[in-house]
Amino acid sequence: MTRRIAVLASGRGSNFQAVIDAIGAGTIPARCVALITDNPKAYAIERAKKAGIPVVVVDYAAFPSREAYEEKLLVAMREQKADLFVLAGYMRILGSSIVRAFPGKMVNIHPALLPSFTGLHAQRQAVEYGVKVAGCTVHFVDEHLDCGPIILQRCVPVLESDDEDALAERILLEEHIAFPEAIRLFCEGRLEITGRRVHIR
């Protein structure tokens, strides 16, 4: 069965592109039914248009409050009737009402080996802390920041010469592998959440 996925992105959308490419190659048995963005200037919109994917803009700046924005966002998400929502560089923390609406149906990628270095500038945090290994984590989304059950992780070495940008670029290459792989496993029905653990069947 071909699953329906919808992507939420705020910026350039390189992970979104990796997902589009994997779907196009037949690696992910899914159809991307929409890009939802909070940023009308996001380059991800151009990627969606090139791929023939419908774009839904819910411009955060157009709303008087976060609550009003999330109310509209929730409506937009429900309209997609997606089996999975993919947060690909979506730069806002989703409120509880949205997370609770799609339990086990939302995944995120974070540029660190969780539970280390949550939140913004994870790569900078890793360099400043002096770790020898960094990486990325694909996880289900729950009501806590970067805290949901972990699906996949990939590692990179942290080099003596690394700054935040150099490490971020090396991690991004692994993100482009890990994210489509995790989405493929979901779409094949091979992921099972038990407490904090994700079992891959």
Report the SS3 class of residue 137.
Answer: strand
Q: What is the DSSP string of 7-28?
A: EEESS--HHHHHHHHHHHTTSS
DSSP for 149-196 reads PEEEEEEEEPPTT--HHHHHHHHHHHHHHHHHHHHHHHHTT-EEEETT
Q: Can you say whether the dihedral through the CA atoms of 75, 80, 83, 89 is positive or negative?
A: negative
- Please tell me what DSSP assigns to residue 99: H
Q: Up-side HSE of residue 176: CA atoms within 13 Å toward CB? A: 12
Q: Which of 110, 121, 176, 199 is catalytic?
A: 110
**Rg (alpha carbons) of the chain, rounded to whole number:** 16
61: DSSP letter: G
Helix (H) or strand (E) holding 136: strand 133-140
In single-letter form, the type of residue at position 147 comes to C
Told to judge if 110 belongs to the known catalytic residues of this protein, a careful annotator would answer yes
Catalytic residues: 110
